[in-house]
């Protein structure tokens, strides 16, 4: 008897919806990353993408604990001397709330070609509406 091994054609991918309304940023991100990687499935294999598609809604209503609203900095660099731009979490939430969650989730995925493939299955929306009703997504309970 041999061990069953998942192949590309046998992996079933579900569409899952996470509502980030009032939930802590890091907890939503870690849950989404776990679902994207596929660690919740019994067929999980570290070198294969066995994860599901994840839709995160209400990204603008995600919660930050402590004083992170003012202290947390998002940095990017243009590549030119003196080209470092810093923006705090309050300004990031007002201008690009979706990017906050995308950065948190992508930071928890592998930094390889496989991680990029997993990241493509992530869809984040600022409001409560999303265009993926045709895929019949399953809404996950908060905190589970």
DSSP line for 14-28: -EEEEE-TT-BHHHH
Tens of pLDDT along 51-94? 999 999 999 999 999 999 999 999 999 999 999 999 999 999 99
Residue 122: what are its φ and ψ, rounded to 5°? -100, 130
For β-strands 84-88 and 73-77, DSSP reports them as antiparallel
| pLDDT score for 144 | 58
pLDDT at 8: 82
Q: Domain segments of the chain: what residues? A: 15-139
- Tell me what percent of the residues of the chain surpass a pLDDT of 90: 90
Q: What is the mean pLDDT of residues 29-53?
A: 95
- The answer to whether residue 143 scores a pLDDT higher than 90 is no
Say if residue 131 is exposed, middle or buried (CB neighbours under 10 Å; 0-12, 13-18, 19+).
exposed
CATH architecture of 15-139: Alpha-Beta Complex (3.90)
Nearest to 13 by CA among 57, 58, 46, 43: 43
């Amino acid at each position: 008897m041999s061990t069953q091994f998942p192949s590309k054609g046998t992996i079933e991918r579900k569409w899952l919806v996470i509502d980030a309304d009032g939930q802590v940023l890091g907890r939503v991100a870690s849950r989404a990353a776990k679902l994207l990687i596929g660690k919740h499935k019994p067929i999980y294999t570290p070198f294969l993408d066995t994860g599901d598609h994840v839709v995160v809604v209400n990204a603008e209503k995600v919660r930050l604990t402590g004083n992170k609203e003012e202290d947390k900095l998002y940095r990017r660099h243009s590549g030119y001397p003196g080209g470092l731009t810093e923006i705090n979490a309050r300004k990031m939430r007002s201008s690009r709330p979706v990017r906050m969650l995308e950065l948190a989730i992508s930071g928890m995925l592998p930094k390889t070609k496989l991680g990029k493939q997993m990241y493509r299955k992530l869809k984040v929306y600022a409001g409560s509406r999303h265009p993926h009703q045709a895929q019949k997504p399953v809404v996950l309970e908060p905190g589970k």
